[in-house]
Chains A and B, each alone.
Chain A
Amino acid sequence: MESALAARGLVKRFETVVAVAGIDLDVPAGSFYGLLGPNGAGKTTTLSMAVGLLRPDAGRVWVLGHDVWSDPSEAKALLGVLPDGVRLFDRLTGAELLAYHGLLRGMDPAVIDQRARELLDVLALASAGRTLVVDYSAGMKKKIGLACALLHAPRLLVLDEPFEAVDPVSAALIRDILQRYVAGGGTVIFSSHVMEVVERLCSHVAILADGAIKRVGTLDEVRGGRSLEDVFVEVVGGRTATGEELAWL
């Protein structure tokens, strides 16, 4: 089976810090892929390099067989991206923003209108009306960002922390949409440090720490009969309280 996203030997250095130290990644088409890691593990850096936002120091990335850095237009057309900690063009209203993304992707205006209306309805953003995205709440911003990523019906969705700062109701809605998208033949890769979400959604998991992949495989392979959280803490090298320290608590 062809990989929806494949990376070989990705390296990124920021000044003196090595953020990503040679990552190989294979995201099977049709999979729901979770990229787990503690803060600062290199998740955002990896995903940014995978979608063409950040030039890697070394390594190559392919989206459905198209090299992101040497054949960007083909690769990018197949991609939908929700970056984290990145502003949207937030001085537009929700509908305007969707129209902008749709036209940038070369979509037909009639299709944009129809899909934008549906997306705004489903994501409960239609009531925001002419409110500018900059005045949206954090959860609404995530939702409109997801809508922008979905609008052109990409084959691969790359989502950076899609559940960060999202309330439970919106999170359930986003989960629902993503599951439907995967069921329809799409591929999702997303980063998170919330075990429950990953455990509930993902078919494949990679655990990232210190810029390198520590464990990778299907969810069951990685778990090996234990809870994902236990595996994660063990791999990342966090400590579990023994009861000796902090006795004064």
Chain B
Amino acid sequence: MFVRLKLRMTANNFRGQPWRVALFMMGVFFGLWWAAGGFLLFAVPGLAGSEKAALLAAGFGGGALTLGWVLFPLVFFGVDETLDPARFALLPLRRRTLVAGMLAAALLGIPALATLASTAGLVLSAGALGGWTAAVTQAVGVAAGLLLCVAASRALTSAFATMLRSRRMRDLAAIALAVLAALLGPLQIGLITAAETADWDRLVGPARVVGWTPLAAAYTLGFDLAAGRGWAVPLKLAITLAATAALLWWWSWSLESAMVGGTPTAAGPRKAARGGAVDQLVPRGMRWMARNRYAALVARETRYWWRDVRRRAGLITVLVVGVFLPVMINIAGNARSPGTVSISMIFVGTLAAVTLANQFGYDGTAYGANVVAGVPGRLELRARVAAFTVYAGPLLVIVAVAMSLLLGEPTWVGLLLGTLAAAYGAGLAANLFVSILAAYALPETSNPFTINTGAGVVRSLLSLVSMLGSAAAAVPMLVAAALLGDAPAWLWLAGPIGAGYGLGATALGVYLAGDLLDRRMPELLASVTPRR
């Protein structure tokens, strides 16, 4: 029943919307791609006859897979809430039926199928090492592992959703997750460097340990059998099933509270407001501005970058990545030339600018207020750029100064600043267009991790496009750096030239995109309005 309902809802989603079908197909494509990659990774060690490598792949690969199932929905993609538990609250369903049904429906998605396909590689691997009994055991393990993955991800997101009913909690959690997500990148780079230097044999031990945790127990079954440790199989299976059962119990428990709903009303601070309404709107540091439309827009945007969690999460990402990435590239690497430094600076500046790629999506339907008030496009964009730069500007300066000190080349600070400013300015110009032409709606639900199925693909595509566009716009700086190298004149000239280039690009972007915005305001509003 639940499975049919889910299929029907997915199908209805496509009706009359070719682009949704296209997105779905892209999702399928990426799913297949991942599945194929995973399959190879898992199957090759077994086929090559290397027991150690197989254990490594199963232990760490399987563990990472399970962890990924737990973390990714929280951090990046959101859960596929095609079936929202709250909708079943009024139906006379037993909890057990509901959990079983929802689980079955959850198994029927691209991620679940891709996981199954890739872990099927383990079956092949185990079969090659230990004959068909090992293969069959491993097949059971793969199925159990998939159940565990799905149960874990659903249980965790559902528990989070209930825990995060109150807005304040939700805001805090979202920020914590943003920090975590931002740290994933640097962590990954660290791991890769470690992997390159580490002695593989020493890792077999930890892989064995991981294989005994619920994370990867299911994925190492077949190899134990192949290695003659048949006694481990029922134990590991029991571990997996017990973990799954515990998670399902947890899920069903939190499902109940999710269905009952009930928002605890957060008693907000009722401090008396001081001063007139206009003085309250304009942040303290901006009191010198004339009180006009521009000030109102800048003030609101400045407050929003801080008060809207999604925006603050974006800022945090820029901060963490902006600091870590250049450090990783330039300190860890040996080559310290103005060229490589410039590239990393361009990346940071671009990344900062890309934060604005869906700036209107953050506003959602609230943007209607500006449409009704008839705010001119250029004014709107100029204010948005200015407000964001209030946060991004100092950040970029800090990055430049910190980098030049860390590199032990204080004279490079001008070059770094100039490159950053050029990349940031050019990126802003590119992203203004992206934000108008390719805005998409963010959901307005109680679950902060929900995004509509398919929107995840749009989001990654959009970031990619705006990244490329921004980077392309910053190419002249790179060319200059490559041609002139560390000629002293260039070190000093790069600062002003880069700043000028960035400013000019932004001004041109605002000028042209403002016109575009004037013509497309209602269309833009429609594209950031969530479908109900």
Contacts and interface: CB of A to CB of B under 8 A. Distances in A.
Interface of A: 15-16, 51-55, 72-73, 76-77, 79, 81, 83, 85-93, 95-96, 98-106, 109-110, 112-113, 116-117, 127-132, 134-135, 148
A51 B370 CA distance: 12
Majority SS of interface residues in chain B?
helix
Interface in B121-164: none
Contacts of B279: 113
B391 to A, nearest CB: 15
Residue of A55, A100, A110, A117 with highest tally of chain B CB at under 10 A:
A100
Given A103-B292, A106-B293, A51 B277 contact: no
A215 B368 CA distance: 30
A238 B53 CA distance: 72
A89 B296 contact: no
Interface stretch (B77-85, B298-306, B482-490): B298-306
A15 to B, nearest CB: 5
B278 A106 contact: no
A92 B300 contact: yes
B374 A93 contact: no
B278 A104 contact: no
Contact of A91 (B307, B365, B372, B522): B307
Given A72-B374, A113-B278, 14 more contacts: A85-B532, A92-B303, A95-B273, A99-B277, A99-B278, A103-B295, A105-B373, A117-B276, A127-B270, A128-B270, A130-B269, A130-B270, A130-B273, A135-B167
11 contacts: A16-B16, A95-B273, A95-B277, A96-B303, A100-B296, A104-B293, A104-B296, A113-B278, A117-B276, A129-B271, A132-B307
Nearest to A69: B522
A109 B372 contact: no
B526 interface: yes
A109 B373 contact: no
B130 to A, nearest CB: 56
B297 interface: yes
A98 B281 CA distance: 9
Interface string B287-324: 00001110111011001100110000000000000000
B444 interface: yes
A103 B523 CA distance: 24
A135 B167 CA distance: 8
Interface string B203-238: 000000000000000000000000000000000000
Interface string B363-380: 111101111111100000
Nearest to A95: B277
Given A95-B277, A104-B297, A113-B276, A90 B366 contact: yes
Contacts of B365: 83, 85-87
Contacts of A131: 268-270
Contacts of B532: 85
B266 interface: yes
B277 A116 contact: yes
Interface in B476-532: 522-523, 525-526, 532
Contacts of B17: 15
A96 B304 CA distance: 12
Interface of B: 16-17, 167, 266, 268-273, 276-282, 291-293, 295-297, 299-300, 303-304, 307-308, 363-366, 368-375, 444, 522-523, 525-526, 532
A92 B16 contact: no
B369 A101 contact: yes
B129 to A, nearest CB: 55
B278 A89 contact: no
Contact of A87 (B266, B271, B364): B364
B16 A73 contact: no
A100 B371 contact: no
A117 B277 contact: yes
A103 B291 contact: yes
Contacts of A88: 366, 369
Nearest to B372: A81
Nearest to B365: A86
Contacts of A102: 277-278, 296
Contact of A96 (B269, B281, B370): B281
A99 B282 CA distance: 9
B373 A96 contact: no
A126 to B, nearest CB: 8
Contact of A79 (B281, B363, B372, B523): B372
Contacts of B273: 93, 95, 129-130
A128 B369 CA distance: 22
A85 B530 CA distance: 11
Contact of B268 (A87, A90, A135): A135
Contacts of A55: 522-523
Contacts of B364: 87
B368 A91 contact: no
Contacts of A54: 522, 525-526
Contact of A89 (B271, B369, B375): B369
A109 B291 contact: yes
A104 B291 contact: no
Contacts of A98: 277
Contacts of A92: 281, 300, 303, 307
Contacts of B303: 91-92, 96
Contacts of A99: 276-278, 280-282, 296
Given A86-B365, A89-B363, A15 B16 contact: yes
A55 B526 CA distance: 10
A77 B374 contact: yes
